[in-house]
Amino acid sequence: MKKALIAFGGNALVKAGEIGLQKQQLDNAKEAAEMVVRLLEQGYLPIIVHGNGPQVGNVLIQQEEAANRVPPYTMDICVAQTVGSMGYMLQRSIENMIRFKGLSQKVSTVLSEVVVDAEDPGFHDPTKPVGPFYENFRAHQLESEKGWVMKEDSGRGWRRQVPSPQPLRIAQIDAIRSLVDAGFVVLACGGGGIPVYEDPNGYLIGIEAVVDKDRTSAMLGHELEAEVFIVLTGVEKVALDFGKPTQRDLDRMTVSEAARYLEEGQFPPGSMGPKIQSSIEYIRGGGREVLITTAECLLRGQVENVGTRIVPDP
């Protein structure tokens, strides 16, 4: 079977307008499972990387509310908590859908540590907002007590900013590869992976950071030699001049065209930009093809006929 590396956000389980109730997330996991099994039926072996932004935010809110009674965890433990619970919900839903369809694949979730450089420039200028909004007094209190970097967010309050360093390697890559080679549907590197660094003795130590899911996905796709890297987003196709009267949807781009459009500012940093950047890195690192589209498109169409493709230069 062809290998398809699929990256989707934590909002696949907590959709816009939802508060993240367990039932909501389980219902959404069933929808995600339908998309995954649809790929299986088309001859692709799915390898899944999911985000966890809303889920980590909820854990941090719970910790803040209970801070006087239960000692809070560090960011790496919070990532691990959400990856474990989300992996369970998705794994169970995919297993049940596979059984319903009469297929034979097995499913496994790998709790994945992603090694970063403790001296990465991102640690000197944290920019990734996480967790709840705080009042001014509480924000400065947390800065003083915990050394957090807090920034005011458009009049809505203050939020913690954490580093988002470049992923260097996936600690459990051999286990992931063995499962994929055995035909398992694998969920790995959830949330971009649990951030760790390697000390001078070679031991892995958790670190306060979050790793970009799309960058880790591209790395995993390279390691597993996936035939296609599927990036799920909120639009059916990538567009130029998005939201303007001159908007033009794209069926296909070469990696050089994607890089030029990115340089021209067509893909903003807060939306499509990181996905295009990861796609470029994936192709230039030897990847064969990137597909950017929605889960709904994958559900109702053939992989070959939906979304926007980014391919190597001729």
Annotated catalytic sites, by residue?
A: 10-11, 128, 213, 275
- Site of tokens 């009267």: 245
Alpha-carbon gap, residue 138 to 61, rounded angstroms: 14
Alpha-carbon gap, residue 303 to 282, rounded angstroms: 19
Structure tokens, 313? 């230069």
Burial of residue 289, with CB atoms counted within 10 A of its CB: 0-12 exposed, 13-18 middle, 19 or more buried: middle
Could you tell me if 117 and 169 are in contact, meaning their C-beta atoms sit under 8 angstroms apart?
A: no
Alpha-carbon gap, residue 55 to 250, rounded angstroms: 32
Name, in order, each residue with C-beta under 8 angstroms of 107's C-beta and a sequence gap of 6 or more: 91, 94, 95, 98, 184, 185, 186, 187
Q: How crowded is residue 42: how many other Cβ atoms within 10 Å of its Cβ?
A: 15
- 121-128 CB contacts, 8 Å cutoff, 24+ apart: 122/163, 122/164, 122/165, 122/166, 122/209, 123/163, 123/165, 123/209, 125/163, 126/161, 126/162, 126/163, 126/164, 127/161, 127/163, 127/164, 128/161, 128/162, 128/163, 128/164, 128/210
Could you tell me if 281 and 262 are in contact, meaning their C-beta atoms sit under 8 angstroms apart?
A: no
Tell me phi and psi for residue 208, to 5 degrees.
-75, 100
Count H helices, E strands: the chain? 9, 17
Decide: helix, strand or coil at residue 245: coil
